[in-house]
Amino acid sequence: MSFESLELHPAFKGFFTEQNFKKPTEVQRKTIPLLLARKSVVAVSETGSGKTLAYALPLFHALKIDEEKHGTNNLKGTPRAMVLAPTRELANQIYKVMKGVSHHVKLRVRLLTGGDSHERTKSMAHSSFDILIATPSRVKSAIKNKELSLGHLKIFVMDEADNLFEMGFKKDIEGMLLEADLSLLQLGFFTATMPPVFDAFLTERFPGKKLERVAFEAASRPQVRIDTYNVRVEPEEKNKIVRTFLEKEAKGRGIIFTNQKNQADEVFKYLKEKMPALKVKVLHGDMEADERDEALKTFIDKKAQVLVSTDVAARGIDIEDLAWVVNYGLPKSAIYYLHRCGRVGRGGRHGVVYNLVASHDGKMITEINQAIQAQTHLPLQMIPDAKLNQQARDRAKAHAAERVEKKVAKIAQRDRRARITDADVPQRGKKTVRPARRGAGRTVKPVRRK
């Protein structure tokens, strides 16, 4: 199937030529006709399969046709379509994709995310535009402050939909939609993972809506193009292993995922100190909005080789030349495992994932295996033949040998001193001697046998 056969508005032609996209991806082939037919859709397809354009293209098409029929939307602060994303980073990325399309299709796109200046929201209230890309908390406050109205919303898309529900935005989202006419609203829910509990919520929350479900067998599984190495390591060795990895093994650019914000800072500091020549950036939710933007932009612009990040970069982020992902700590859920790993192996490319697995991670490995079951190409066992595994084992062996050597030397020294002091201590009766713990050899405490 070609893009032409989707019968999209002719204005898209320039976009496809510019992007050099030859044909739609599978999720685009399945969902675009449904969305063009004004159906509401729940689409679950693997990471990197092209979901963004799967909703963006029909959204632009519908609004363009609408504009041609009814004229330009001149209402202030009143978008006709809205896309919600869980993080400012992802909202930013979607905004860029949308701007790329709007350059050809000529519709107005705005961005609204947490951490943006209030001036930006205020100015939104005084301008008219067609599409809003946003994070939920900021939409909520903008509606409350009467800077935004969803009264004329026709299309509502949730990207990483399960994550938006999981993050506790269910109520906010329900609140946002109060203003909109649900019977006229077209809905789109997109993700690579849709746990049954959230799917059930959709049916319950939108009872009058017929939701078309598009799911692929390969969704909720890691990409086939990813090689995985599980590196057995004790927690205190992780920094050193990461350093060795970066010095000796890493090819190309990658992300190191940590489970905590302070851990991300620590790893970042360690790398800065031990590898001053390495171009590394850190990203987590405790940073200021502009610091977050700067860190990710530097990385996307290829001005840094490594990004140390929490899960803020785990979902949706699309970086073309990303070669590897390191899970410094295994994520706390199999779903996040999939999303983190899905930053590589996108669009048919090859990627590598390194999991630093501590002894207490056995349970998590089992859970991940269960959650991504049926996949055969990527069993998460402790892979013994990974190069790094070998390095870790060699290092552990060397440490053990060193420890034994030290112990032997200590015992020999103690024995020698004991012998000397034994000889020096006048033997009285049946008294025996043993060196005192500290300063053995200098003072010898006679021990009386009972």
Q: DSSP letter at 440?
A: B
Q: Which of helix, strand or coil describes residue 416?
A: helix
Q: Which does 329 bind (CB under 5 to 8 A by kind): Mg ion, ligand ATP, none?
A: none
Would you say 273 or 301 has its CB closer to ligand ATP?
Answer: 301
Would you say 136 or 222 has its CB closer to ligand ATP?
Answer: 222
State the nearest-atom distance from the C-beta of 318 to Mg ion, in Å: 7
Q: Which does 342 bind (CB under 5 to 8 A by kind): Mg ion, ligand ATP, none?
A: ligand ATP
State the nearest-atom distance from the C-beta of 87 to ligand ATP, in Å: 11
**Chain centroid to CA 405: how far?**
44
Q: Which does 58 bind (CB under 5 to 8 A by kind): Mg ion, ligand ATP, none?
A: none
Do the strands 322-327 and 351-357 form a parallel or antiparallel pair, or are they unpaired? parallel
Q: What are the DSSP calls for 338-374, one per residue?
A: HHHHTTSSGGG--EEEEEEE-GGGHHHHHHHHHHTTT
State how far the Cα of 434 lies from the Cα of 444, in Å rounded to an integer: 6
Q: Which does 206 bind (CB under 5 to 8 A by kind): Mg ion, ligand ATP, none?
A: none
According to DSSP H, which parts of 158-314 are helical? Answer: 161-164, 170-176, 196-205, 238-244, 261-274, 289-300
Q: Which does 48 bind (CB under 5 to 8 A by kind): ligand ATP, Mg ion, none?
A: ligand ATP
State the nearest-atom distance from the C-beta of 41 to ligand ATP, in Å: 14
Interface residue list for Mg ion (CB under 5 A): 51, 316
State the nearest-atom distance from the C-beta of 404 to Mg ion, in Å: 52
Would you say 254 or 316 has its CB closer to Mg ion?
Answer: 316
Would you say 25 or 298 has its CB closer to ligand ATP?
Answer: 25
State the nearest-atom distance from the C-beta of 48 to ligand ATP, in Å: 5
Interface residue list for ligand ATP (CB under 6 A): 21, 24-25, 28, 47-53, 192, 316, 318, 342, 346-347
State the nearest-atom distance from the C-beta of 90 to Mg ion, in Å: 7
According to DSSP H, which parts of 301-352 are helical? Answer: 334-341
Tokens matching residue 224: 């086939």
Residue of minimal Cβ distance to Mg ion: 316
State the nearest-atom distance from the C-beta of 279 to ligand ATP, in Å: 23
Nearest to 40 by CA among 182, 220, 193: 182
Q: What share of the chain is helix, strand, coil (3-state, %, to 5)?
A: 45, 15, 35
Q: Which does 351 bind (CB under 5 to 8 A by kind): Mg ion, ligand ATP, none?
A: none
Contacts of 2 (CB under 8 A, 6+ apart): 22, 23, 24
Would you say 25 or 128 has its CB closer to ligand ATP?
Answer: 25
State the nearest-atom distance from the C-beta of 193 to ligand ATP, in Å: 9
- Structural contact between residues 79 and 150, judged by C-beta atoms closer than 8 angstroms: yes
Q: Which does 199 bind (CB under 5 to 8 A by kind): Mg ion, ligand ATP, none?
A: none
Residue 181 main-chain phi, psi, to 5 deg: -90, 105
Would you say 223 or 263 has its CB closer to Mg ion?
Answer: 223
- Structural contact between residues 127 and 76, judged by C-beta atoms closer than 8 angstroms: yes
Would you say 52 or 309 has its CB closer to ligand ATP?
Answer: 52
Would you say 25 or 305 has its CB closer to ligand ATP?
Answer: 25
Would you say 173 or 338 has its CB closer to ligand ATP?
Answer: 338
State how far the Cα of 381 lies from the Cα of 212, in Å rounded to an integer: 37
State how far the Cα of 261 lies from the Cα of 283, in Å rounded to an integer: 8
State how far the Cα of 322 lies from the Cα of 340, in Å rounded to an integer: 12
State the nearest-atom distance from the C-beta of 58 to ligand ATP, in Å: 13
Q: Which does 112 bind (CB under 5 to 8 A by kind): ligand ATP, Mg ion, none?
A: none
